[in-house]
Amino acid sequence: MLRPVNDLKGYALLATNGPIGHVVDVLFDDRHWAIRYLVVDTGTWLADRRVLISPMSLGHPDWMLQQLPVAMTKERVERSPDVDTRQPVSRQHELEQLAYYGHPVYWEGTELWGMGAYPGLLAGTPVATRVPVEPAPVAGAGNSHLHSCEALVGYQILATDGDLGHVENFLVEDETWAIRYLVVNTSNWWGGHHVLIAPPWVETMSWADSTVSVDLTRAAIKSAPPYDAAALFDRQQEAAMHEHYGRSRYWSVDPTEK
Protein backbone atom coordinates (compact mmCIF):
# COMPACT_ATOMS: atom_id res chain seq x y z
CA MET A 1 0.00 0.00 0.00
CA LEU A 2 1.16 3.53 -0.75
CA ARG A 3 1.32 6.01 2.11
CA PRO A 4 2.17 9.73 2.18
CA VAL A 5 5.60 10.33 3.69
CA ASN A 6 4.47 13.51 5.42
CA ASP A 7 1.91 11.46 7.36
CA LEU A 8 4.77 9.55 9.01
CA LYS A 9 5.82 12.66 10.92
CA GLY A 10 4.73 12.31 14.49
CA TYR A 11 4.49 8.52 14.39
CA ALA A 12 5.61 7.00 17.70
CA LEU A 13 8.46 4.49 17.79
CA LEU A 14 8.12 1.84 20.47
CA ALA A 15 11.05 -0.23 21.67
CA THR A 16 10.45 -3.58 23.33
CA ASN A 17 10.46 -1.89 26.74
CA GLY A 18 8.97 1.53 26.09
CA PRO A 19 8.71 4.53 23.76
CA ILE A 20 11.76 5.88 21.93
CA GLY A 21 10.38 9.06 20.40
CA HIS A 22 8.60 10.21 17.26
CA VAL A 23 9.44 10.60 13.56
CA VAL A 24 10.47 14.10 12.46
CA ASP A 25 11.94 13.31 9.04
CA VAL A 26 13.04 10.48 6.76
CA LEU A 27 16.22 10.05 4.74
CA PHE A 28 16.16 8.47 1.27
CA ASP A 29 18.83 7.62 -1.27
CA ASP A 30 18.36 9.15 -4.69
CA ARG A 31 19.77 6.20 -6.63
CA HIS A 32 17.15 3.65 -5.61
CA TRP A 33 14.59 6.06 -4.15
CA ALA A 34 14.06 4.13 -0.95
CA ILE A 35 13.71 5.40 2.59
CA ARG A 36 16.83 4.25 4.43
CA TYR A 37 16.32 5.86 7.83
CA LEU A 38 13.69 7.40 10.04
CA VAL A 39 14.95 10.45 11.90
CA VAL A 40 13.57 10.09 15.41
CA ASP A 41 13.38 12.86 17.99
CA THR A 42 13.85 11.27 21.42
CA GLY A 43 12.63 14.37 23.27
CA THR A 44 13.82 14.76 26.85
CA TRP A 45 14.54 11.04 27.19
CA LEU A 46 17.98 11.44 25.59
CA ALA A 47 18.44 15.18 26.12
CA ASP A 48 16.81 16.15 22.81
CA ARG A 49 19.00 13.76 20.87
CA ARG A 50 17.92 12.59 17.42
CA VAL A 51 18.69 9.05 16.30
CA LEU A 52 18.49 7.13 13.04
CA ILE A 53 16.34 4.01 12.84
CA SER A 54 16.49 1.81 9.75
CA PRO A 55 13.33 0.11 8.42
CA MET A 56 15.36 -3.09 8.95
CA SER A 57 14.81 -2.54 12.69
CA LEU A 58 11.04 -2.24 12.47
CA GLY A 59 8.38 -4.77 13.25
CA HIS A 60 4.88 -4.68 11.75
CA PRO A 61 3.60 -1.07 11.84
CA ASP A 62 0.27 -0.19 13.41
CA TRP A 63 -0.96 2.32 10.88
CA MET A 64 -4.23 2.97 12.71
CA LEU A 65 -2.52 3.91 15.98
CA GLN A 66 0.41 5.55 14.14
CA GLN A 67 2.96 3.40 15.93
CA LEU A 68 6.13 1.77 14.63
CA PRO A 69 7.47 -1.08 16.78
CA VAL A 70 11.25 -1.41 16.98
CA ALA A 71 12.85 -4.79 17.61
CA MET A 72 15.30 -3.60 20.26
CA THR A 73 15.39 -2.10 23.74
CA LYS A 74 15.57 1.57 24.65
CA GLU A 75 19.02 0.96 26.11
CA ARG A 76 20.20 -0.39 22.76
CA VAL A 77 19.10 2.82 21.05
CA GLU A 78 20.64 4.94 23.81
CA ARG A 79 24.07 3.40 23.21
CA SER A 80 23.92 3.82 19.42
CA PRO A 81 26.71 5.82 17.71
CA ASP A 82 26.19 9.58 17.73
CA VAL A 83 25.34 11.23 14.42
CA ASP A 84 24.25 14.80 13.79
CA THR A 85 21.06 14.23 11.76
CA ARG A 86 20.87 17.95 10.95
CA GLN A 87 24.06 17.59 8.90
CA PRO A 88 24.75 15.38 5.84
CA VAL A 89 25.15 11.78 6.97
CA SER A 90 28.41 10.29 5.72
CA ARG A 91 28.89 6.73 4.53
CA GLN A 92 31.19 6.17 7.48
CA HIS A 93 28.38 7.16 9.84
CA GLU A 94 26.10 4.73 8.05
CA LEU A 95 28.61 1.92 8.38
CA GLU A 96 28.91 2.58 12.10
CA GLN A 97 25.13 2.63 12.54
CA LEU A 98 24.48 -0.51 10.51
CA ALA A 99 27.32 -2.44 12.15
CA TYR A 100 26.11 -1.44 15.62
CA TYR A 101 22.58 -2.69 14.95
CA GLY A 102 23.81 -5.78 13.11
CA HIS A 103 22.31 -4.80 9.75
CA PRO A 104 23.82 -5.52 6.31
CA VAL A 105 24.68 -2.62 4.03
CA TYR A 106 21.91 -1.82 1.55
CA TRP A 107 24.12 -0.45 -1.24
CA GLU A 108 25.76 -3.75 -2.16
CA GLY A 109 23.69 -6.36 -3.97
CA THR A 110 21.12 -6.56 -6.73
CA GLU A 111 17.95 -6.00 -4.70
CA LEU A 112 16.40 -2.80 -3.38
CA TRP A 113 17.86 -3.56 0.05
CA GLY A 114 21.09 -5.12 -1.17
CA MET A 115 20.49 -8.75 -0.26
CA GLY A 116 16.69 -8.58 -0.34
CA ALA A 117 13.69 -6.68 -1.65
CA TYR A 118 12.16 -6.07 1.79
CA PRO A 119 13.95 -4.60 4.83
CA GLY A 120 11.96 -6.75 7.24
CA LEU A 121 13.42 -9.93 5.76
CA LEU A 122 17.03 -8.99 6.46
CA ALA A 123 17.10 -9.74 10.19
CA GLY A 124 19.98 -12.07 10.88
CA THR A 125 21.67 -11.41 7.55
CA PRO A 126 25.48 -11.32 7.94
CA VAL A 127 26.82 -7.81 8.29
CA ALA A 128 29.22 -6.55 5.63
CA THR A 129 31.99 -4.74 7.49
CA ARG A 130 34.44 -4.17 4.69
CA VAL A 131 35.06 -0.83 3.01
CA PRO A 132 32.23 0.05 0.57
CA VAL A 133 32.81 -0.49 -3.15
CA GLU A 134 32.25 3.15 -4.02
CA PRO A 135 35.05 5.62 -3.21
CA ALA A 136 35.03 6.68 0.41
CA PRO A 137 33.94 10.30 1.00
CA VAL A 138 36.46 12.86 2.13
CA ALA A 139 36.58 13.67 5.82
CA GLY A 140 33.53 15.65 6.91
CA ALA A 141 31.65 15.08 3.67
CA GLY A 142 28.17 13.62 3.58
CA ASN A 143 26.79 10.76 1.57
CA SER A 144 25.88 12.54 -1.66
CA HIS A 145 23.09 10.06 -2.32
CA LEU A 146 21.33 10.33 1.05
CA HIS A 147 18.83 13.17 1.43
CA SER A 148 16.04 14.48 3.62
CA CYS A 149 12.50 14.23 2.27
CA GLU A 150 11.60 17.30 4.29
CA ALA A 151 14.36 19.28 2.57
CA LEU A 152 13.07 18.26 -0.88
CA VAL A 153 9.57 19.60 -0.22
CA GLY A 154 9.18 22.86 -2.12
CA TYR A 155 11.67 21.99 -4.86
CA GLN A 156 10.56 23.29 -8.25
CA ILE A 157 9.59 20.72 -10.89
CA LEU A 158 10.98 21.41 -14.36
CA ALA A 159 9.39 19.74 -17.39
CA THR A 160 11.25 19.55 -20.69
CA ASP A 161 9.57 22.80 -21.75
CA GLY A 162 9.31 24.78 -18.55
CA ASP A 163 8.42 24.75 -14.87
CA LEU A 164 5.03 23.56 -13.62
CA GLY A 165 4.91 23.21 -9.85
CA HIS A 166 6.72 22.07 -6.74
CA VAL A 167 7.23 18.94 -4.67
CA GLU A 168 4.66 18.71 -1.88
CA ASN A 169 4.87 15.13 -0.65
CA PHE A 170 5.93 11.57 -1.51
CA LEU A 171 4.12 8.26 -1.68
CA VAL A 172 6.04 5.36 -0.16
CA GLU A 173 5.30 1.65 -0.45
CA ASP A 174 4.86 0.43 3.12
CA GLU A 175 6.46 -3.00 2.66
CA THR A 176 9.56 -2.16 0.63
CA TRP A 177 9.84 1.46 1.84
CA ALA A 178 10.44 2.47 -1.78
CA ILE A 179 9.34 5.95 -2.81
CA ARG A 180 7.03 5.35 -5.77
CA TYR A 181 5.87 8.90 -6.50
CA LEU A 182 6.57 12.55 -5.89
CA VAL A 183 3.34 14.47 -5.24
CA VAL A 184 3.52 17.68 -7.27
CA ASN A 185 1.42 20.75 -6.50
CA THR A 186 0.67 22.75 -9.66
CA SER A 187 -1.57 25.35 -7.96
CA ASN A 188 0.36 28.27 -9.42
CA TRP A 189 -0.42 27.03 -12.91
CA TRP A 190 -3.56 24.90 -12.95
CA GLY A 191 -5.65 25.91 -9.95
CA GLY A 192 -4.73 23.39 -7.27
CA HIS A 193 -4.24 20.42 -9.58
CA HIS A 194 -2.02 17.71 -8.04
CA VAL A 195 -0.16 15.15 -10.12
CA LEU A 196 2.23 12.28 -9.46
CA ILE A 197 5.72 11.90 -10.89
CA ALA A 198 7.54 8.56 -10.54
CA PRO A 199 11.27 8.65 -9.65
CA PRO A 200 12.30 6.82 -12.87
CA TRP A 201 10.97 9.83 -14.79
CA VAL A 202 13.33 12.18 -12.95
CA GLU A 203 16.35 13.10 -15.04
CA THR A 204 18.31 15.27 -12.61
CA MET A 205 18.03 16.96 -9.24
CA SER A 206 19.88 20.15 -8.48
CA TRP A 207 20.41 20.66 -4.77
CA ALA A 208 22.03 24.02 -5.44
CA ASP A 209 19.06 25.33 -7.46
CA SER A 210 16.34 23.41 -5.56
CA THR A 211 14.94 21.92 -8.77
CA VAL A 212 13.87 18.50 -10.04
CA SER A 213 13.96 17.99 -13.81
CA VAL A 214 11.71 15.36 -15.42
CA ASP A 215 11.64 13.99 -18.96
CA LEU A 216 7.97 14.88 -19.48
CA THR A 217 6.33 17.82 -21.20
CA ARG A 218 4.06 20.30 -19.46
CA ALA A 219 1.16 19.24 -21.70
CA ALA A 220 1.60 15.56 -20.81
CA ILE A 221 1.65 16.35 -17.11
CA LYS A 222 -1.30 18.74 -17.29
CA SER A 223 -3.46 16.12 -19.04
CA ALA A 224 -2.42 13.31 -16.68
CA PRO A 225 -4.96 11.82 -14.25
CA PRO A 226 -5.10 14.12 -11.20
CA TYR A 227 -4.14 12.90 -7.75
CA ASP A 228 -6.51 13.47 -4.82
CA ALA A 229 -4.92 12.78 -1.44
CA ALA A 230 -8.36 12.49 0.16
CA ALA A 231 -9.51 9.75 -2.22
CA LEU A 232 -8.45 6.14 -2.62
CA PHE A 233 -5.53 5.73 -5.00
CA ASP A 234 -5.60 2.14 -6.19
CA ARG A 235 -3.63 -0.01 -8.61
CA GLN A 236 -6.14 0.64 -11.41
CA GLN A 237 -5.51 4.37 -11.15
CA GLU A 238 -1.77 3.76 -11.09
CA ALA A 239 -2.06 1.69 -14.26
CA ALA A 240 -4.10 4.43 -15.97
CA MET A 241 -1.43 6.99 -15.13
CA HIS A 242 1.43 4.84 -16.43
CA GLU A 243 -0.57 4.16 -19.58
CA HIS A 244 -1.12 7.90 -20.03
CA TYR A 245 2.62 8.53 -19.92
CA GLY A 246 3.47 5.36 -21.87
CA ARG A 247 5.76 4.20 -19.08
CA SER A 248 6.45 0.75 -17.66
CA ARG A 249 4.73 -0.28 -14.45
CA TYR A 250 7.07 -0.99 -11.57
CA TRP A 251 4.88 -3.87 -10.39
CA SER A 252 4.68 -5.66 -13.78
CA VAL A 253 5.68 -9.31 -13.86
CA ASP A 254 4.35 -10.04 -17.32
CA PRO A 255 6.86 -8.80 -19.94
CA THR A 256 3.97 -8.13 -22.36
CA GLU A 257 2.53 -5.53 -19.96
CA LYS A 258 3.51 -1.89 -20.17
Domains present along the chain, CATH in parentheses? 2-148 (2.30.30.240), 153-245 (3.90.50.10)
What is d(CA 97, CA 112) in angstroms, rounded to the nearest whole number? 19
C-beta atoms surrounding 185 within 10 Å: 21
What is d(CA 67, CA 85) in angstroms, rounded to the nearest whole number? 22
Choice between 120 and 199, residue whose per-residue pLDDT is larger: 199
pLDDT in tens, 156-200: 999 999 988 999 999 999 999 999 999 999 877 767 689 999 999
**Mean of pLDDT over the chain:** 87
The pLDDT of residue 86 is 81
**Is the pLDDT score of 257 beyond 50?**
no
Q: How confident is the model at residue 123 (pLDDT cuts 50, 70, 90)?
A: low
Question: Buried (b) or exposed (e) across 210-239, using 16+ Cβ within 10 A?
Answer: ebbbbebebebbeebeebeeeeebeeeebe
Choice between 191 and 41, residue whose per-residue pLDDT is larger: 41
Q: How confident is the model at residue 4 (pLDDT cuts 50, 70, 90)?
A: very high
**Is the pLDDT score of 140 beyond 90?**
no
The percent of residues above 90 in pLDDT, for the chain, comes to 67
Model pTM above 0.85? yes
User: With contact defined as beta carbons under 8 Å apart, do 166 and 47 qualify?
Assistant: no
With CA atoms as reference, report the closest residue to 58 among 8, 153, 105, 123.
123
**Is the pLDDT score of 1 beyond 50?**
yes
E strands, the chain, are: 2-4, 12-15, 18-29, 34-41, 50-53, 67-69, 146-148, 156-159, 162-173, 179-185, 194-197, 202-206, 211-214
Q: What is the mean pLDDT of residues 196-214?
A: 94
Q: What is the mean pLDDT of residues 69-93?
A: 90
The pLDDT of residue 115 is 86
